[in-house]
Amino acid sequence: MFDEQLAGFKGDEQCIRVVGHRGARGIMPENTLLGFEWTIKMGVSALEFDVMITKDSVPVIVHNHHLNRDITRTPQGDWLNAPEPRISDLTYEQLSQFDVGGLNIFTEYGQRFPEQIFMSGQKVPQLADLLRLINRPEFRHVRLMLEIKSDPHVPDHRDRQAQTVEAIVNVVRAHNVQARTVLHSFDWEMLRMCQIEAPEMPTSFLSQLPEEEATAGSDPASAFDAYVGTLPSVPQAVADAGGYIWAPYFKDVTEHDVAHAKQLGLLISPWTVNDPHDMVRMIDLGVDAIVTDYPARLQREMIKKQVRWQRTEENTNAALTSA
């Protein structure tokens, strides 16, 4: 089941899929249309990105629940100051006034990506903008790992989960990309909602063990660790919850987990792997897909290991002939 969607994330002995994280955050501004376009053009056929809804229920592609001051400029061209507005408090019209094309290099976050180009005039995209992009004839092979964001700290959390899922699924259906989209989240409860509301798309379960959160950088990804942390086996729980992909924080992954996940028929797609040594470890563990901010860096480690990122017929075998 879901062969079409999963084809973009399924590896084998000779192939591991490269998934561009927020586009290719190491090189291009994260979660921007130009970043996505470049990532696809350079040969990355699977994109990971983050979606939530605005005050007027428009699904938009942005990571944090608040606008991140480290990457956001005001219409006047100044860096955003506190307080950072919540995405859910802005209409799309209001949100689209901000420029997210560059990092403030004087911040800790800005210093994490020294090769990221500084651009101006990049607005937070609507999910619909990205779906139009991948519906170009030349981009029909592209698969999406659509992360649905969820904030358990807001009072109307359950209502917002439902609204968010409905709005996102409607846009995906309107652009007819269900056969290329995997619904992905740390919010496992919301993923069950997705399975009911959108049975035509497979679900991908993110996990991160609590003790590792501190080392995950400035991406406070998961408010659901406490739950995951109590599970006897995370892959088993993903399978029991009807998931098709298990997306663990890469430092959590063990050989035993990989073997178990494969027994259970799950695909394994760890995130976010940016250091060559960690890349090598993931390759050696035999995961299916690797989510990275640095696709070129990952390609090199795969070439050294004689592992492809596309199928043979996709003409990258030449990268391997000189090993």
Residues of this chain that bind a second copy (CB under 8 A):
26-28, 34, 38, 41-43, 73, 77-79, 99, 102, 104-107, 114-121, 294-297, 299-300, 303-304, 315-319, 321-323
Nearer to a second copy among residue 119 and residue 285 (C-beta): 119
**Smallest separation, CB 289 to a second copy (Å):** 18
Nearer to a second copy among residue 128 and residue 296 (C-beta): 296
Buried b (16+ CB within 10 A) or exposed e, 187-217: bbebbebbbebbeebbbbbbbbbeeebeebe
The phi and psi torsions of 194 (rounded to 5 degrees) equal: -60, -40
**Smallest separation, CB 218 to a second copy (Å):** 17
**Smallest separation, CB 317 to a second copy (Å):** 6
Nearer to a second copy among residue 118 and residue 174 (C-beta): 118
**Smallest separation, CB 82 to a second copy (Å):** 13
Name the helix (H) or strand (E) containing 38. helix 33-41
Tokens, residue 94: 């209001």
Peptide bond preceding 83 in cis form (omega within 30 of 0): yes
Nearer to a second copy among residue 168 and residue 289 (C-beta): 289
User: CA neighbours within 13 Å on the CB side: how many for 197?
Assistant: 20
Nearer to a second copy among residue 231 and residue 320 (C-beta): 320
SS3 of residue 143 by DSSP: strand
Nearer to a second copy among residue 117 and residue 154 (C-beta): 117
Nearer to a second copy among residue 39 and residue 88 (C-beta): 39
Q: How far is CA 25 from CA 109, 176, 215, 319, in A?
A: 12, 27, 18, 24
Beta-sheet strands, E only, within the chain: 17-21, 46-53, 59-61, 143-148, 181-185, 203-207, 245-248, 267-268, 289-292
**Smallest separation, CB 315 to a second copy (Å):** 5
**Smallest separation, CB 30 to a second copy (Å):** 14
Nearer to a second copy among residue 118 and residue 176 (C-beta): 118
The single-letter DSSP state of residue 55 is T
Tokens, residue 302: 């795969």
**Smallest separation, CB 285 to a second copy (Å):** 22
HEC string of 156-199 equals CHHHHHHHHHHHHHHHHHHCCCHHHEEEEECCHHHHHHHHHHCC
**Smallest separation, CB 106 to a second copy (Å):** 5
The phi and psi torsions of 17 (rounded to 5 degrees) equal: -80, 135
